[in-house]
Amino acid sequence: MVGKVTTDKELQQEAKKVVDANIDLVKRVRKTGKQGPVMHLVGLVMKSTKKRGDPVMIKFLIEEEIAKVKIDPKDLAEVTDEEEK
């Protein structure tokens, strides 16, 4: 795997940074369960690691980080239909 990120720790740190920076997408995922926003977050991690990460592993790490985020149910109610598209 020449050129790939070899440590899960580095990918996990990048996944956490991306999730923390995109809380609106996290809310949308938590409310709708759609994978589109998750894949967008995966793309952002790939971009930040200069495509050296395994996308499958990154998706798994993103989903773990999303599950860790504490979101008030009131905040989920504020996600509009327009944002869900």
The reported pLDDT for the residue numbered 6 is 55
Q: What is the mean pLDDT of the chain?
A: 84
pTM exceeding the 0.75 threshold for the entire prediction: yes
3-state secondary structure 4-29: CCCCHHHHHHHHHHHHHHCHHHHHHH
State pLDDT tens for residues 24-63: 899 888 888 888 999 999 999 999 988 888 899 999 999 9
Instruction: Write down the domain spans for the chain.
Output: 8-77
The reported pLDDT for the residue numbered 1 is 46
Fold type of domain 8-77? Arc Repressor Mutant, subunit A (1.10.10)
